[in-house]
């Protein structure tokens, strides 16, 4: 009897697993310039605490997520790696089914530190390679110490390494097989253009903040013209960013978005995510809740009308959450140009 129950449970688990794999197949992909395909939807891991993030990644893979956005600066890659290892061991996915993104932190810009930064990510994640490796920010911070180095007055300490010199070592990481593709995050169009002019490997991705309060339409159009795909980070407006004030506008409780959600019978989060997906962007919402993991990925079975897309476009108010304006005097701080 016990044997029969076990076998039935096993079969049920298999059916569920197949169901979720089928669901995962519905997530569109975007072709990168190295021929690889990145799922247009993945899991963000910034602020997912140790103790929470392992279960979040395991649940995400179970419900069909195949792309995970990581970074050394999130200080949780070790647990993300444990979750990936578990799901590979259980046979739910193979390494090649997953698309893992890593990021070079600001204290690793000096050319000799780039291989050390990526090696730490690979070791923590327990992987031989990442699928995409990004320069996290164009600004370098003082090397060889804390990840967030500050002087006695609490002021960030900088490095003046040129991100072009960092980029050359990013290219070396591709040649060494540590990453399949390279790109950057938080670069403005002038900074991207400079790398396009001087680099030898074309950037495969620009990852920037993007949601209805900061729709980035100019930057996206510019990137599309250069054939550089864009990933939208903080796609829900990052309400849990550490410096958010209670009085800051919150996308998820915006009555205008709530009204649209009601019309479609969807959640506000689903409307916001669908809007970005429909613009051709790759999106990486973060959640540690199993119910929200399922809610967020369930946006590929409905379509917003042209009028509603335009309406949401009109909510832009230059509402940047990840401005890092405490380092705005850094010579490479990216947000002092139109886009």
Ligand X SMILES: NC(=O)c1ccc[n+]([C@@H]2O[C@H](COP(=O)([O-])OP(=O)(O)OC[C@H]3O[C@@H](n4cnc5c(N)ncnc54)[C@H](OP(=O)(O)O)[C@@H]3O)[C@@H](O)[C@H]2O)c1
d(CA 124, CA 64) in angstroms, rounded, equals 23
Strand (E) or helix (H) holding 183: strand 182-185
Among 233, 315, 332, 333, binds ligand X (CB under 6 A): 233
Residue closer to ligand X (CB basis): 81 or 235: 235
- Residues in contact with ligand X, shown as a per-residue x/- string from 146 to 185 under the rule CB under 6 A: ---------------------------------------x
Query: Known binder of ligand: residue 211?
Result: no
- Orientation angle between helical segments 163-175 and 189-198, nearest 10 degrees: 60
- Catalytic residue, from 74, 129, 133, 158: name it: 74
Check if 133 is active-site.
no
Residue 220: both structure tokens together: 């996206």
Q: Collapse the DSSP code of 184 into the 3-class scheme (helix H, G, I; strand E, B; otherwise coil) and give the result.
A: strand
What is the DSSP secondary structure assignment for residue 112, as one 8-state letter? G
Residue closer to ligand X (CB basis): 169 or 334: 334
Span 117-136, contacts to ligand X by CB under 6 A:
136
**286 near ligand X, judged by CB under 6 A:** yes
Residue 227 neighbours by CB under 8 Å, 6+ apart: 33
d(CA 24, CA 238) in angstroms, rounded, equals 24
Distances (CA, A) of 301 to 86, 139, 240, 271, 291: 30, 40, 28, 12, 18
Residue closer to ligand X (CB basis): 174 or 257: 257
**Cα distance from N-terminal residue to C-terminal residue, the chain:** 66
Strand (E) or helix (H) holding 315: none
**269 near ligand X, judged by CB under 6 A:** yes
**288 near ligand X, judged by CB under 6 A:** yes
* Residues that contact ligand X, how many (by CB under 6 A): 31
d(CA 226, CA 308) in angstroms, rounded, equals 28
Among 32, 45, 81, 312, binds ligand X (CB under 6 A): 45
CB 141 within 8 A of CB 107: yes
Among 287, 298, 299, 315, binds ligand X (CB under 6 A): 287
- Residues in contact with ligand X, shown as a per-residue x/- string from 298 to 327 under the rule CB under 6 A: ------------------------x-----
Give the residue closest to ligand X by C-beta.
44
Site residues (vs ligand X, CB under 6 A): 44-47, 69, 136, 185-186, 207, 233-241, 252, 267, 269, 284-289, 292, 295-296, 322
Residues belonging to the binding site for substrate are 136
The catalytic residue positions are: 74
């Amino acid at each position: 009897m016990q044997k029969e129950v076990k076998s039935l449970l096993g079969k049920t688990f298999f059916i569920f697993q197949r169901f979720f794999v089928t669901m995962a197949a519905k997530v569109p992909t975007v072709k990168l310039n190295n021929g690889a395909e990145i799922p247009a939807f993945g899991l963000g891991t910034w602020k997912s605490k140790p103790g929470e993030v392992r279960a979040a990644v395991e649940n995400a893979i179970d419900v069909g997520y195949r792309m995970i956005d990581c970074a050394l600066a999130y200080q949780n890659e070790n647990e993300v790696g444990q979750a990936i290892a578990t799901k590979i061991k259980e046979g739910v996915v193979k390494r090649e089914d997953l698309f893992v993104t890593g990021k070079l932190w600001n204290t690793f810009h000096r050319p000799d530190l780039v291989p050390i930064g990526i090696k730490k990510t690979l070791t923590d994640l327990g992987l031989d390679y990442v699928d995409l490796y990004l320069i996290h920010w164009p600004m370098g911070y003082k090397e060889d110490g804390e990840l967030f180095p500050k002087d006695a007055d609490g002021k960030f300490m900088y490095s003046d390494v040129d991100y072009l010199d960092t980029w050359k070592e990013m290219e070396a990481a591709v040649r060494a097989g540590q990453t399949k593709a390279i790109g950057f995050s938080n670069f403005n169009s002038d900074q991207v253009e400079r790398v396009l002019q001087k680099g030898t490997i074309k950037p495969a991705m620009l990852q920037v903040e993007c949601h209805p309060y900061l729709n980035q339409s100019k930057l996206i159009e510019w990137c599309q013209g250069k054939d550089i795909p864009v990933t939208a980070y903080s796609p829900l407006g990052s309400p849990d960013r550490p410096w958010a004030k209670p009085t800051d506008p919150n996308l998820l409780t915006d009555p205008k978005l709530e009204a649209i959600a009601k019309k479609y019978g969807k959640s506000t989060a689903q409307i916001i995510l669908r809007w970005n997906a429909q613009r051709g962007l790759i999106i990486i919402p973060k959640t540690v809740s199993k119910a929200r993991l399922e809610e967020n990925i369930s946006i590929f079975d409905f379509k917003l009308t042209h009028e509603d897309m335009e309406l949401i476009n009109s909510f832009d108010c230059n509402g940047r959450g990840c401005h890092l304006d405490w380092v705005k005097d850094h010579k490479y701080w990216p947000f002092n140009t139109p886009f």
